[in-house]
Amino acid sequence: MTLALRQPSVIPGFGITLGFTLFYLGLILLIPIGAFLLYTAQMSWADFWQAVSHRQVVASYKLSFGASLIAALLNLVFGAIVAWVLVRYRFFGKRVIDALVDLPFAMPTAVAGIALVTLYASTGWVGQYLEILGLRVAYTQLGVVVALTYIGLPFVVRTVQPVLEDLDRELEEASAILGANRLTTLRRVILPALLPALLTGFALAFARALGEYGSVIFIAGNLPFRTEITPLLIVAKAEQYDYPGAAAIGTVMLLAAFVLLLLINALQWWTARYTRR
């Protein structure tokens, strides 16, 4: 039976390793997710629709999707610049900076949350200067964007960096010899090669931002209809024991996550064709 499914090999342990992997995935991941979707499926369509289309919930979708989109776009632009600078230029402290890019990935979200709100509050190190410019970040929608930008920062840098490292300099030389200036080379030679990686990083940053909770709730202020993200509403409903309501909204978020995961997989497959590793 197993022989039909896999190619023969002298290496032992296929049955036990794959068996344990599937058992663990099934127990912790698949059965709970399946049960959760079944729970939502038992709701009547009217109840489900009422829960997911309530005005306050719709306002939270707009904020969550909108702020995640803006944050991912910011990370697309600045992440591309950071990746470019780290791969192509030499400057003091480059190694340390390169390592620091992973910080949002390792930093607990609650710590990031209280750090960002302290920094961007009207009395904070950065907030006080933005206040002079008339910009309020803490407890506004802009604050949500700041937190989501922080959380998504490593993704574009880390997907673009290896592709840029592998990019053949000879292509740029050929482009220059054929008379293109630097801007044309960037637009016609470099960017097309980086496009899949840029999109992958963008989608990863967006997906991460969409579900983010810890770093946002401190800086957002959580005003209904204004600065309430969807994950916060799920927590609020769960804390009031409104499990069907929470499950309905959670299912919407879960389905959005599945769609994004499929998209990211397709993009990664496309990126892989541009890296030779």
Partner 1 sequence: MSTLASPIPPLSSEAPAWQRATEEPAWIRRLLIGIALTFLGLFLVLPLAVVLYGAFEQGLQVWYAAITEPDALAAIRLTLLVVAIVVPLNLVFGVMAAWAIAKFEFRGKSVLITLIDLPFAISPVVVGLIFVILLGSQGWLGPWLAEHDLRIIFAVPGIIIVIAFGTMPFVARELIPLMQQQGKEEEESSLTLGANGWQTFWRVTLPNIKWGVIYGVILCNARAMGEFGAVAIVSGRIRGETNTMPLHIEVLYNEYLFTAAFAVSSLLAGLAIVTIAVKSLVEWRDERQRHPAAA
Residue 49 CB, shortest distance to partner 1, in Å, is 19
Our CB check for partner 1 shows the closer of 108 and 134 to be 108
CA 145 to chain centre: 13
Residue 144 CB, shortest distance to partner 1, in Å, is 15
If you write DSSP's letter for every residue of 22-83 in order, what string do you get? HHHIIIIIIHHHHHHHHHHHTS-HHHHHHHHT-HHHHHHHHHHHHHHHHHHHHHHHHHHHHH
Our CB check for partner 1 shows the closer of 59 and 186 to be 186
- Contact criterion met (CB below 8 Å) for 67 and 209: yes
Our CB check for partner 1 shows the closer of 140 and 229 to be 229
Residue 61: partners with Cβ closer than 8 Å, 6 or more residues away = 230, 252
Our CB check for partner 1 shows the closer of 45 and 92 to be 92
| Cβ density class 118-140: b for 16+ within 10 Å, e for less | bebbeebebbeebbeeeeebbbb
| Cβ density class 25-46: b for 16+ within 10 Å, e for less | eeeeeeeeeeeeeeebeebeee
Residue 223 CB, shortest distance to partner 1, in Å, is 16
Our CB check for partner 1 shows the closer of 22 and 191 to be 22
Residue 231 CB, shortest distance to partner 1, in Å, is 4
Question: Dihedral of CA 139/145/151/153: which sign?
Answer: negative
Our CB check for partner 1 shows the closer of 20 and 49 to be 20
Residue 142 CB, shortest distance to partner 1, in Å, is 14
Pairwise CA distance, residues 157 & 200, whole Å: 11
Residue 184 CB, shortest distance to partner 1, in Å, is 11
Residue 240 CB, shortest distance to partner 1, in Å, is 12
| Cβ density class 235-257: b for 16+ within 10 Å, e for less | ebbeeeeeeebbbbbbbbbbebe
Our CB check for partner 1 shows the closer of 58 and 103 to be 103
